[in-house]
């Protein structure tokens, strides 16, 4: 089965620009209006934001599906290509686009939960009060969007070479197996070489100074622990992006879908963190579900797509991913960890 590029950048650059401007506008409202003053985000407020971001992603997916239907049905040349090279009608191709976005969103949102374990440790290590954590995560997510955009652009260019697909697929399989087998190592920001370099580059104050990332002491510019924490979180996201971006390219070859699903998942990460931060330890089996997801999407790249005639059915992919993640969460809640001080029913 041959692949047909559905959203070439030269033709749909305006979609990327419009979507990015929309995201920046939402972020500006978030920081400039809803969280202008430093304050602690309550679980109830976080739940409201989680519902908002998930609903916004689902609304976008429905609009994107209808947009794809309209675009594909008005282009007879593309319709002929879809049927001759992929065996799909315009409506079927549009439905696949929507399902690929949803699968990419679920994968990225699930993998981002792994980031939360890191956030909890890092905020505790640097002694960041809850009322300042939103500010760090806001700028962390802004940086994450920039770095993910660069990774997606690089990935879409590399995915043109078949051997890269095998490399990415093999990497995902090995990463998934490592998650399943290797013991977890404690996170120690103090040993991070970039953090060490940063402290050599600029003096760091021992205490916070409100929401400030920089302060002047005796005429000398100092970084605060808030900035050091932000840098560490940005580095962590870059490391996680090495797994998550290839994982979504295993679901779709369309950079537009990879970009939009990635961004929506990242936008909802802060609210999800504030909702689950206190209970994140309860999902102790989630890492195994994530490991199996990475093994599955790696196998899609190196074997399952070819075995299925060029494209493993997206409905099957979405179902398997949902089953693995949902099953890991259900098992975690049904079998509490020995270290969990609050088992169900208490």
Q: Can you name the residues that pair with 221 across neighbouring β-strands?
A: 216
> What is the distance between the alpha carbons of residues 252 and 68, in angstroms, rounded to a whole number?
15
* Residue 154 is assigned to a structural domain of this protein: yes
Within-domain flag for 3: no
SS (H, E, C) the chain: CCCCCCCCHHHHHHHHHHHHHHHHHHHHHHHHHHCCCCCCCCHHHHHHHHHHHHHHHHHHHHHHHHHHHHHHHCCHHHHHHHHHHHCCCHHHHHHHHHHHHHHHHHHHHHHHHHHHHHHHHHHHHHCCCHHHHHHHHHHHHHHHHHHHHHHHHHHHHHCCCHHHHHHHHHHHHHHHHHHHHCCCCCCCHHHCHHHHHHHHHCCECCCCCCCCCEEEECCEEEECHHHHHHHHHHHHHHHHHHHHHHHHHCCCCCHHHHHHHHHHHHHCHHHHHHHHHHHHHHCCCHHHHHHHHHHHHHHHHHHHHHHCCCCCCHHHHHHHHHHHHHHHHHHHHHCCCCCCCCCCCC
User: Could you tell me which residues come within 8 angstroms of residue 237 by beta carbon, excluding any fewer than 6 positions away?
Assistant: 115, 140, 143, 144, 147
Residue at 114 is within a domain: yes
Residue 232 located in a structural domain: yes
Span 240-271, pLDDT tens digits: 788 788 888 888 989 999 999 999 998 888 88
User: Residue 165's pLDDT is what?
Assistant: 87
pLDDT for the residue 343: 46
Structure confidence at residue 277 (pLDDT):
73
pLDDT in tens, 167-192: 989 999 999 999 899 877 767 777 77
Q: Would residue 342 count as lying in a domain? A: no
> Does residue 345 lie in a domain region?
no
What length does the chain have? 346
- Bridge-based pairing state of the strands 220-223 and 214-217: antiparallel
The domain in which residue 19 lies consists of: 9-334
| Torsions phi, psi for 223 (to 5 deg) | -85, 150
The answer to the question of residue 288 being in a domain is: yes
Q: How many domains does the chain have?
A: 1
Mean pLDDT by groups of 10 residues along the chain of 346 residues: 81 94 84 63 84 94 97 92 88 95 91 77 83 85 87 86 87 91 74 79 85 88 89 84 84 93 90 79 85 92 83 89 92 79 46
Tell me if 305 is assigned to some domain: yes
């Amino acid at each position: 089965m041959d692949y047909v590029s559905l959203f070439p950048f030269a033709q749909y650059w305006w979609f990327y620009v419009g979507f990015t401007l929309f995201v920046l506008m939402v972020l500006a409202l978030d920081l400039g209006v809803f969280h202008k003053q430093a304050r602690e985000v309550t679980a109830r407020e976080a739940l409201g934001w989680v519902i908002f971001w998930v609903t916004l992603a689902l609304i976008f997916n429905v609009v994107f599906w209808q947009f794809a239907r309209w675009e594909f049905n008005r282009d007879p040349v593309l319709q002929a290509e879809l049927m001759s090279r992929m065996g799909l009608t315009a409506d079927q191709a549009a439905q696949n686009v929507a399902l690929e976005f949803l699968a990419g969103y679920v994968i990225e949102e699930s993998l981002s939960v792994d980031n939360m374990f890191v956030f909890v440790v890092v905020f505790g290590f640097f002694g960041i009060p809850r009322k300042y954590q939103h500010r760090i995560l806001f700028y962390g997510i802004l940086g994450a969007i920039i770095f993910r955009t660069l990774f997606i652009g690089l990935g879409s260019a590399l995915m043109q070479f078949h051997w890269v697909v095998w490399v990415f697929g093999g990497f995902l399989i090995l990463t998934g197996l490592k998650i399943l087998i290797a013991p977890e190592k404690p996170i120690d920001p103090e040993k991070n070489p970039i953090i060490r370099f940063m402290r050599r580059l600029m003096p760091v104050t021992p205490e916070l100074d409100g929401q400030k990332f920089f302060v002047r002491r005796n005429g000398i510019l100092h970084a605060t622990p808030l900035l050091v924490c932000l840098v560490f979180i940005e580095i962590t996201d870059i490391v996680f992006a090495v797994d998550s971006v290839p994982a979504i390219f295993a679901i779709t070859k369309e950079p537009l879908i990879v970009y939009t699903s990635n961004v929506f998942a990242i936008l909802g990460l802060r609210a999800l963190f504030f909702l689950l931060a206190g209970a994140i330890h309860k999902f102790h089996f989630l890492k195994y579900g994530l490991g199996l997801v990475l093994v599955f999407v790696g196998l899609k790249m190196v074997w399952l797509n070819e075995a299925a005639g060029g494209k493993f059915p997206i409905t099957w992919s979405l179902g398997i991913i949902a089953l693995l993640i949902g099953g890991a969460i259900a098992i975690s809640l049904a079998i509490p960890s020995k270290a969990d001080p609050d088992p169900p029913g208490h």
